[in-house]
Structure 1
Amino acid sequence: MRERDPARVDPVRMIECAYDVPTYLDYASVVSKDPQTLGLRKLESDNPFLYEYELATPIQVFGLETRRIAMASGALLAALDDVKPQTIAERLKIEEPIRDDAFKYMAMRVVHHTLEQVSGVKETINTVISLEVSTVITHPGKVLAGCSYRVNTF
């Protein structure tokens, strides 16, 4: 679904893959420049690839409550406490993890995929929207779960 006004984006629906890539990109642009306009407070992070924010009010996502979200590599993720990543993956109908060991958990399920040939050029646009669940060493005890919105060309 396309939402042209980032202020009207529901972060829960964004985390649950209910929007399209342009909506994610518009939202991410506002979050990176002025998170306060969206009711977010930027938090310090020991992970240079993960930008964390605190919401003004808690949200319910994947059956759990959180006040923290994160942006990383084209994804909007809920930062969840007191849950195993395998439990969240099961709720999201992710059948097989990419990695599941003592060091890291990673799992994903594609919810939308298109390949579009661009007329007049020899490039193909590859769009992938996927639900993802992971852990990171910089955030012990937290599970990151949400949606990745990616586009690339080849």
Structure 2
Amino acid sequence: MHFPKIPSILSLILILLSSSSYAFERTDLKKIIECKSDYSTYSDFASEYDENLTALGFKKIEDSDQPFIYLYKTNQPIELFGLKTNEIALAGQGITAVFRNVNVQQLSKKFDIPQHPDFTMLPLFRGVRTVKTEPATSDSVTFYHNLNLSEMKGKKPMVLLGCTYEADREEMEKMLQE
């Protein structure tokens, strides 16, 4: 028997497999938001966040009350931090879950996130706790995985809970000077 087309078909399959990029799943997003991922995965996801979120079923929604964050909504709820939500946000340097009608003080206690000293005199909650440190390598700086909790007031109050992956500032400055 002669199978002349098999090598060309195998070659085509190998080319397609090697050129395909990683498709993120909801479990990846969950790990990123809950500070259970690593900086590399977060960076890969965030570099094309709109496309990745769209592929996961999220749609960007406009909210003029919150001009400094990007809100995304899905019809299929996702469980984050033991609570279900159908909204997430890109806020600051991270991706967060958006919760409505939750007690921010209970979340603060549950996740051991203290009120930030700069906000103790304000009628809202802002707090952060470092949950993991990714040590520097020969080609990267140290990254801190910080769990952030923020209370947002306004017409549609919300609580943001999620992770930021922050580079060590001193190491970054040193690297930039070299």
Q: If the TM-score is normalised by the length of the shorter chain, which range does it land in?
A: 0.7 to 0.9
Which structure has the highest strand share of the two? Answer: 1
Using the alignment, how far apart are the partners of 1:17 and 1:69 within structure 2?
15
**Are residue 108 (structure 1) and residue 128 (structure 2) matched?**
yes
Given the two structures, how large is their TM-score scaled by the length of structure 1?
0.80
Q: Structure 1 stretch 67-76 or stretch 138-147: which is displaced more?
A: 138-147
Residue identity matched to 1:23: T
User: Which structure is richer in relative contact order (CA contacts within 8 A, separation 6 or more)?
Assistant: 1
Contact 2:108/2:149, CA 8 A, preserved across alignment: yes
Using the alignment, how far apart are the partners of 2:30 and 2:165 within structure 1?
14
Q: Secondary structure at the match of 1:109?
A: strand
**Are residue 7 (structure 1) and residue 31 (structure 2) matched?**
no
Using the alignment, how far apart are the partners of 1:70 and 1:128 within structure 2?
20
Contact 2:79/2:85, CA 8 A, preserved across alignment: yes
Using the alignment, how far apart are the partners of 2:42 and 2:134 within structure 1?
16
* Residue from 75, 80, 86 that aligns with 1:67: 86
Which structure has the highest helix share of the two? Answer: 2
Using the alignment, how far apart are the partners of 1:138 and 1:14 within structure 2?
27
Where structure 2 has 5 or more consecutive residues not aligned to the other structure, the ranges are 1-20, 174-178
Sequence identity, in percent? 27
Where structure 1 has 5 or more consecutive residues not aligned to the other structure, the ranges are none
Taking a change above 3 Å as real, the CA distance of residues 21 and 57 of structure 1, as seen in their structure-2 partners, is same
- 4+ residue stretches of structure 1 with deviation over 6 A? none
Q: Structure 1 stretch 32-41 or stretch 12-21: which is displaced more?
A: 32-41
Q: Which structure has the bigger radius of gyration?
A: 2
Aligned residues: 146
Using the alignment, how far apart are the partners of 2:55 and 2:61 within structure 1?
15
Corresponding residue for residue 159 of structure 2: 143
* Residue from 143, 150, 157 that aligns with 1:127: 143
Residue identity matched to 1:116: A
Residue identity matched to 2:24: A
Given the two structures, how large is their TM-score scaled by the length of structure 2?
0.70
Contact 1:52/1:70, CA 8 A, preserved across alignment: yes
